[in-house]
Structure 1
Amino acid sequence: MYPFIFRTFFARMDPERAHHLVVPVIRAFGIWPLAPIMRAFTKPDTSLRTTALGLEFDSPFGVAAGFDKNAVMSEGLHSLGFGHVEVGTVTAIPQDGNPKPRLFRLIEDRALINRMGFNNAGAAAAARRLVRSRRRPRRAVLGANIGKSRVVDVDDATADYVTSTRQVAPAADYLVVNVSSPNTPGLRGLQAVETLRPLLEAVRDAAVRTPLLVKIAPDLPDDEIEAIARLAVDMGLAGLIATNTTISREGLRTDPARVEATGAGGLSGAPLAARALDVLRVVRAVVPEEFCVISAGGVETAADVQERLDAGATLVQGYTGFIYLGPLWARQINRGLVRLRRAAR
């Protein structure tokens, strides 16, 4: 049913407008009386429970940051079967993001290009919503992803991140420092170890007891990825997320003229899968077994998720697959993981 709906309705609509249309539907899935009905239908098998970051996850598969920027859908996404929801990216200062259009589908590649620019209502607003969601007796694990406010100079980024941290860290189960989006000028330069260390030290101290992770780009050379991973371990961070979107356009099936016309932005979806898997392996090779590594980028099927887990991922996140595979995607992943594990016994 969903492929038909996508082809005849959503594929003809501006992607950002389509996203806004489904937000109230997903929110409704998390509200009584729909929530208990949905959870009875989508609840992951108990065999998928995963312990990480000192927390228990219903499933190792969750929603990556970017889908629920303002922490308004976490309960609905949990009702759809996701084991965790990472909200954001949020910034200390509310901002509109980049000019529209800024989200584009590459349907032939099952991919997206976005240059959203951290459009969000601000860290304080997200914190209030996270507090309400955490009061629910049955809920997903909630992460908060923070980035630099666009109007803040890169030289002042640390104070800006600390402001967001103080607002959202007490309300989140874990916190992620995003220094890898390609859509905020100067942001990726913060991934250099000499600038990243003082930033992470300040955020770590402000986060107090909330587990802290850092999210990296897939476009870094392997030696820089290894250096960041070692830095995260050395600083006592709880984990690392690999990876964010890519600025690469290699190997796409979509007409190159159309890709060029789409312009700048981060590419997500199936074309990112191979590099995301490579980065996961690079990271896992240099961090301890107990260090949490969350793999994101290009997963579509249960086999994809299991491949990441077998390669050393502690948890796996998805985003673009939701657009192409629909609201029962997490349920399909979770049921497929159970079948794969039973077959492997």
Structure 2
Amino acid sequence: MYPLFFSLILTRLDPERAHHLAFSAIQMLPRLGLSRAVHHFTRPRTDLSVSTLGLRFESPFGVAAGFDKDGEAVLGLGALGFGHVEVGTLTAVAQPGNPRPRLFRLIPDHAVINRMGFNNRGAAAAAPRLTRIRHVAGRPVLGINIGKSRVTAVDDAIEDYLVSTRLLAPLADYLVVNVSSPNTPGLRGLQELDRLAPLLTAVKEAAASTPLLVKIAPDLSDEEVLRISGLAVELGLDGIIATNTTLSRENLKTESAVVTAAGAGGLSGAPLAGRSLEVLTLIRSVVPGDFCVVSVGGVDTAEDVAERLAAGATLVQGYTAFLYRGPLWARRINRGLDRLRTGAR
């Protein structure tokens, strides 16, 4: 049913408007008292739980940052079967993001180009909402992803991140430092070790006991991935999220004119799968076994999730395929993992 709805209705809508309509429907689940019933239908049937970061995740599969920027649909997303929800990216200063249009479908590739630009209402506005969510029984694990405000110069980035950290770390089950979005000028430069080390050191101290992870780009060289992995271990971080969107436009099925018309921005979805898996393998080759590695990029099916777990991922996240697969996507992943787990016995 959803593929027909997508092809006949959603593809005729501006992608960002379609997202907001779907988002509103997800928000309504807890408001209508449907969360428990829906979650009974979508949750894993076998024990897929993962223990990491001092937390228990009901499913290894969660929704990546970017879908719920302000933490307004955490409970609805949990009801749909996601084991964790990473909200954000949130910034210290509220910002509208880049001008529209800024979200583009590449349907033949099951991909998306976005240049949203960290549009959000700011860390301070999100804090009361996230405080309420934190005390809801049965909620999914709550990750909070923070980034640099656009108005803040790169040289002042540490204090900017610290504003968000002080507000949000006490509310998060885990906190993520995003230094890898391509849509905020200068942000990816923070992945250079001489800038990254003091940033992560300061945020870790401010985050106190909240587990801290860093999210990196797929466009780093293999050597850079290994160096950042070593730094994360050296500084006592709890994990790495790999990867964010890519600037690459290689090997796409979509007509080049369509890709060119979409313009600048990060590419996510199926074309990212290969590089995301490569980066996961690189990270896992140099970090301790109990170090949390979250794999994201190009994940579509339960088999994709199982492949990432077999390659060393502790948890797996998705986003873009949600737009193409519809509201029962997490259920399909959980049921597929159930079958794979049962079949392996």
What is the TM-score when the length of structure 2 is the normalising length? 0.99
Residues 30 and 78 in structure 1, CA contact (< 8 A), matched pair in contact too:
no
CA distance in 2, matches of 1:326, 1:22: 9
Q: Which residue of the partner structure matches residue 146 of structure 1?
A: 146
Letter in 2 for 1:278: E
Q: Percent identity?
A: 65
Q: CA deviation at 1:129?
A: 1.4
Structure 2 unaligned blocks of 5 or more = none
Q: CA deviation at 1:130?
A: 1.2
Which deviations, in whole Å up to 9, do the C-alpha atoms of 1:184-213 show, x marking residues without a partner? 000000000111000000100110110000
Residues 39 and 81 in structure 2, CA contact (< 8 A), matched pair in contact too:
yes
Worse-superposed segment, 333-342 or 24-33: 24-33
Q: CA deviation at 1:31?
A: 3.2
CA distance in 2, matches of 1:39, 1:31: 14
Q: Which residue of the partner structure matches residue 174 of structure 1?
A: 174
Q: Which residue of the partner structure matches residue 327 of structure 1?
A: 327
Which deviations, in whole Å up to 9, do the C-alpha atoms of 1:30-73 show, x marking residues without a partner? 33521121112112234111101000001000000000001000
Q: Which residue of the partner structure matches residue 196 of structure 1?
A: 196
Residues 145 and 177 in structure 1, CA contact (< 8 A), matched pair in contact too:
yes
Residues 46 and 338 in structure 2, CA contact (< 8 A), matched pair in contact too:
no
CA distance in 2, matches of 1:130, 1:101: 29
RMSD of aligned Cα (Å): 0.7
1:82 aligns with 2:82: yes
Residues 213 and 239 in structure 2, CA contact (< 8 A), matched pair in contact too:
yes
Q: Which residue of the partner structure matches residue 217 of structure 1?
A: 217
Residues 30 and 77 in structure 1, CA contact (< 8 A), matched pair in contact too:
no
Map 1:2-41 to 2 at 5 A.
2-41=2-41
| Cα 1:46–1:341 shift into 2, 3 Å | closer
Residues 91 and 118 in structure 2, CA contact (< 8 A), matched pair in contact too:
yes
CA distance in 2, matches of 1:280, 1:244: 12
Which deviations, in whole Å up to 9, do the C-alpha atoms of 1:308-342 show, x marking residues without a partner? 00000000000001000000000000000011122
What is the TM-score when the length of structure 1 is the normalising length? 0.99
SS in 2 for 1:295: strand
Letter in 1 for 2:178: N
Residues 123 and 168 in structure 1, CA contact (< 8 A), matched pair in contact too:
yes
CA distance in 1, matches of 2:32, 2:132: 15
Which deviations, in whole Å up to 9, do the C-alpha atoms of 1:153-198 show, x marking residues without a partner? 0000000000000011101100000000000000000000111000
Aligned length: 345
1:288 aligns with 2:281: no
Residues 44 and 338 in structure 2, CA contact (< 8 A), matched pair in contact too:
no
Q: Which residue of the partner structure matches residue 257 of structure 2?
A: 257
Residues 48 and 58 in structure 2, CA contact (< 8 A), matched pair in contact too:
yes
Residues 302 and 336 in structure 2, CA contact (< 8 A), matched pair in contact too:
yes
Which deviations, in whole Å up to 9, do the C-alpha atoms of 1:12-46 show, x marking residues without a partner? 11010111112221011233521121112112234
SS in 2 for 1:286: coil
Letter in 1 for 2:322: F
Letter in 1 for 2:341: R
Worse-superposed segment, 239-248 or 21-30: 21-30
Q: Which residue of the partner structure matches residue 69 of structure 2?
A: 69
Q: CA deviation at 1:124?
A: 1.2
Residues 295 and 316 in structure 1, CA contact (< 8 A), matched pair in contact too:
yes
1:227 aligns with 2:198: no
